[in-house]
Copies of this chain bind each other. A is one copy, B any other.
């Protein structure tokens, strides 16, 4: 069962990353429950107990809005991400909700072909282990505290 939950979390993560990296952003909110929490923060802020983060949403509708805004405005320089994820660490499971941590690395490629390390860190997740698992909470805690451009796409 632990091995099974691990593979289900790993598959969820792989599908999540693929939706973002393949520019199917409209699918991204569908990885969350309606009353979800999604935060991008830094290790420093997270240690200090600051809840707000660089990006913050507490419903799937806010994630939909964010995607719509990205599509409408499109003010950011064309770029794509490539998430490379580690194996989830399963911290616990209660009432059908798993608590897990997953390391991530995001490489960004700009339209002209330049490629750089964009972000590294770990996801702190609570996942509803339904037939199709969904994120109840995903906090992306970034090791790096500076971003050299507008944090545009979801992590």
Q: Which residues of A contact B (CB under 8 A)?
A: 3-4, 6-7, 10-11, 13-15, 17-18, 21-22, 43, 80, 82-89, 101, 103, 105, 107, 109, 112-117, 120-122, 143-146
SS of A interface (majority) = mixed
Shortest Cβ distance from residue A100 to the other chain B in the assembled complex, whole angstroms: 10
Verify B120–A107 contact, CB threshold 8 A. Answer: yes
Q: Distance (Å) between the CB of A4 and the closest chain B CB?
A: 7
Contact A87 B89 (CB under 8 A): no
Q: Are A86 and B121 in contact (CB under 8 A)?
A: no
Interchain CB contact under 8 A, B89 and A86 = no
Q: Which residue of B lies closest to A43 (CB)?
A: B80
Q: Which residues of B contact A89 (CB under 8 A)?
A: 11, 14-15, 18
CB<8 Å pairs between A and B, sample of 7 = A10-B87, A13-B87, A15-B89, A17-B103, A22-B122, A84-B86, A84-B105
